[in-house]
Amino acid sequence: MGLFSKRPEGESTGAQMRRASAILMSYLRLTVEDLRLTAAEKLTVLFSTVTYFALLLIVGTVALVFVSIGIGHWLAATVAPLMAYLYIALFYILVLVVLVVFKRQLLIDPICRFVTRLIVEPPRPESDQNQPEDETNL
C-alpha cells in the first residue's frame, strides 16, 4: 500500500488529497523527530567528550603541579634551589612555545576532525547507494 495506491470505489479526489496530506504530515513529523533525536545524540557525545577532557585536564594539572614540585626538590639536591625551579619553568615555557607554534597541528585539526566526524556522515561507496539498506547480500 503506497501513497498512490488504487483509489477505492467511491473515494473522491478531495478525500485522496486529505489522505495524502495526512501521510505527508506524518512523514514530516517523523522526520523532525528523527532530526531531534539525532541532534540529541550528537550533542550528548560532544558534551560528554568535552566534560571528560575537562576533568582529565584538571586532574592532570594537579598531578603535574605535584610532579613539578617533586622534580624541583630533587634537582635542588644537585643545584641551587632557585635554579632548579627556573629549569622547570624554562621547560614549561618551551612546552608553551611548542603549543603556540604547532597550534593548528596539535589542537585545531584534531578538534575539527572530531566535530566533523561527529556531525557529518561519511559518504557511502556508490555500490552501497544502489542497494536498499535492509537487504542483505548473499
Residue 116: all three cell numbers together: 566533523
Report which DSSP code applies to 131. Answer: S
Flag whether pLDDT at 27 surpasses 90: yes
Cα–Cα dist 75/83, whole Å = 9
The reported pTM is: 0.62
pLDDT at residue 94 is higher than 90: yes
For 35-54, write each residue's pLDDT tens digit.
999 889 988 988 999 999 99
The span from the CA of 118 to the CA of 21, in Å, is: 34
Phi, psi of 84 (to 5 degrees): -60, -45
Residue 136 has pLDDT above 80, yes or no: no
- Shortest CA distance to 85 belongs to which of 71, 95, 98, 96? 71
**Best CA proximity match to 113, nearest among 105, 102, 101:** 105
Say whether pLDDT at 6 is over 80: no
Residue 23 DSSP SS3: helix
pLDDT at 69 over 80: yes
